[in-house]
């Protein structure tokens, strides 16, 4: 099977890597941040960064040929994971059905600069 790099408008890494990679029906992302599409700057608050991060998640999975329903696992790193309510607010918007949510692992991480949160996900496409 051939590997396909996934890129989206308004989201890129500083290094020469794609937002995600697909082989067959499996998609894995790199680090997804809470950055503004137009400016590339981090959102000013954790809530803003969560909102921006989840918007990137949606764009990336759609660019890969799927929808949020195809996401099976998400890993989230936060400066302070006791503030998960900000993540949960966006999580519930993206995954409102309690019977159809991906697994999630959230952990503390020494994130650099103004970065308060980042994530990655794995998806299985139909």
SS3 content of the chain, % helix, strand, coil (to 5): 25, 30, 40
Which secondary structure element, helix H or strand E, spans residue 71, and what is its range? Answer: strand 71-78
Which residue segments constitute the domains of the chain, with CATH numbers given? 3-124 (3.30.1330.40)
SS3 102: coil
What pLDDT, in 10s, does the model give residues 15-57?
A: 899 999 999 999 999 999 999 999 999 999 999 999 999 999 9
pLDDT of residue 9: 86
Beta-carbon count within 10 A of 51 CB? 16
Q: Indicate the pTM of the whole model.
A: 0.96
């Amino acid at each position: 099977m051939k590997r396909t790099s996934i890129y989206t408008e308004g989201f890129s890494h500083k290094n020469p890597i794609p937002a995600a990679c697909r082989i067959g029906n499996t998609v894995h992302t790199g680090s997804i941040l809470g950055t503004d599409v137009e400016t590339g700057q981090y959102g000013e608050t954790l809530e803003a960064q969560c909102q921006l991060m989840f918007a990137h998640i949606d764009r990336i999975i759609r660019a890969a040929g799927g929808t949020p329903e195809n996401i099976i696992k998400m890993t989230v790193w936060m400066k302070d994971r006791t503030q998960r309510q900000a993540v949960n607010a966006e999580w519930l918007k993206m995954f409102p059905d309690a019977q159809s949510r991906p697994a999630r692992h959230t952990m503390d991480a020494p994130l650099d600069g103004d970065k308060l949160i980042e994530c990655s996900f794995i998806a299985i496409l139909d």
